[in-house]
Amino acid sequence: MRWIVAVLFGLISTLTFAQTTTQDESWFHADFRRESERVRDACTLHNFMSVGSCAYTLFTDHPLHIAAGSMPPQNGFGLGLAYVATRNTQNWRLSWDVDAVGATSASWRAGGYLKLIHTPVQPITVINPATSGMAKRAQRKPKVREHPFTVFNLYAQGISLNKLNYFGLGNESSLADASVFGMTQTIVGGNVTKPVFELPALSKLNLSLFGEMNGRFVNIRGEGGQSIPSIQLLYSDITAPGLSHQPGFLQLGEGVRIKPVIGNHLELNYAGTLQEFVAPSSSQNTFERWAIDLNHTFHLYGYTESGPKAPNMTGPDECAPSGQKCPEISRSRNLNGSIGVRLLLSESMNSFSKVPFYFQPTLGGQDIDSNLTLPSYRDYRYRAPNFLLLQESFEHSIWGPFGVKVIADQGRVALNRSDLGFNHLRHSFAAGLTLRAGGFPMVQMMFAWAGAEGHHNIFNMNTALLGGGARPPLD
């Protein structure tokens, strides 16, 4: 409660001091002044609906807003402040974010993120309507390209998590072997996404190339005072590789993605990535990992009408690229609905080493990046270097920003690549409500059941409100 009061007091105090206008006003002061005016207008309460408008403004406006969202599972709900600024030039759109959040579990996250979007202008030939006949004169006029732009992300982030579950490795691990550990991870690096559009065929595929380079520094610690034992009491380096020593890693990555839309209804999102984890001080921990993600979405009412709109997916740090106010919450009565089918396959290659357990992907509940996978099981339930996930989903609007979602998962993990297949798959079902509102991130309230280990209630708020649209994954 004290943390919430401190966040609100800090936000209101900053905006109050920014209301004074001077003749030589800087852009920095102007940003705060305009935001304070918008907050004052939105938070002048006339009726009950004004409360929602005020809250939406405090959570999404620029340059300072409340940062909030779900921390990784078992670590609570994060709350803090984010400072966001945007500046545009003729060829670049720049946005940067600095944020810090804490949870009642004493877990925290803080970081700085810079996004650079290359937006070059391309001259086109336009016929002058004032002339006629063969003497028509061509003039050149700048026009922004209509293809996707090259995007660069630079970031530095630290995160400390006080409760992460570990049940052992493999598809046959047991609930009786549950343990808990804490982790601090610092990530410094960047990535780039380069669309390939020169050839018409590639333009239709919406093909893009991806590259990244990160330094990852992890510290694993035991956690006492929990209802289950600390990890070092049950496991060793043999059963939890990397438990006693965590070297620094240079993590490289490259990949390709295609996102074509077929017939205005079927959207394909195919990605293939390869990552190299290099530990300069310990060659025994070096490994490679590849992944294939095949995502199919059929938009029931057409891609244009019911496809995901950018403001709904990017959060407050990117929903207003010129620094203006984020879009208002839509009250449209247009129907939106989609059916999705996804196949995700990942394998690790480590001929002379073992993959550290803290970099191994997990299935069950939510993973460390808050993705739903086999949601009826415990968070982080199954862990191994190799995994397979099949996921089917249905989502449909109900009223305004509210919708319903149903998902079915089948998956398994494997210690050896040769053991990965479609046999002995764990399965799970989940259903619940969703909220997609303007620059506000998606909220999911799900009830999951089936499988062999009971049911699971999940409330998740997309981490977009935590700031940093360029936030790197933790595994």
Q: Which residue type occupies 423?
A: N
For residues 216 and 187, the answer to whether their CB atoms sit within 8 Å is yes
Maximal C-alpha separation, the chain: 88
423-455 pLDDT, tens per residue?
889 999 999 998 876 545 578 899 999 888 889
142-201 pLDDT, tens per residue?
433 345 789 999 999 999 999 999 999 999 999 999 999 999 999 999 999 999 876 666
For residues 163 and 74, the answer to whether their CB atoms sit within 8 Å is yes
| 3-state DSSP assignment of residue 312 | helix
Dihedral sign for Cα 46, 48, 51, 53, please. negative
For residue 403, give the H/E element and its range: strand 402-414
Q: Which of 31, 39, 37 is nearest to 84 (CA)?
A: 31
For residues 177 and 368, the answer to whether their CB atoms sit within 8 Å is no
| 3-state DSSP assignment of residue 16 | helix
Q: List all residues 6 or more positions away from 89 whose beta carbon is below 8 Å from its beta carbon.
A: none
For residues 287 and 271, the answer to whether their CB atoms sit within 8 Å is no
Identify the bridge partners of residue 184 per DSSP, sorted by sequence position: 160, 219
Ranges 64-68, 177-181, 287-291, 330-334: which has the least confidence: 330-334
pLDDT at 443: 84
82/197 Cα distance (integer angstroms): 35
267/164 Cα distance (integer angstroms): 35
47-106 pLDDT, tens per residue?
666 777 787 788 888 888 888 888 999 999 889 998 888 888 888 888 888 999 999 999
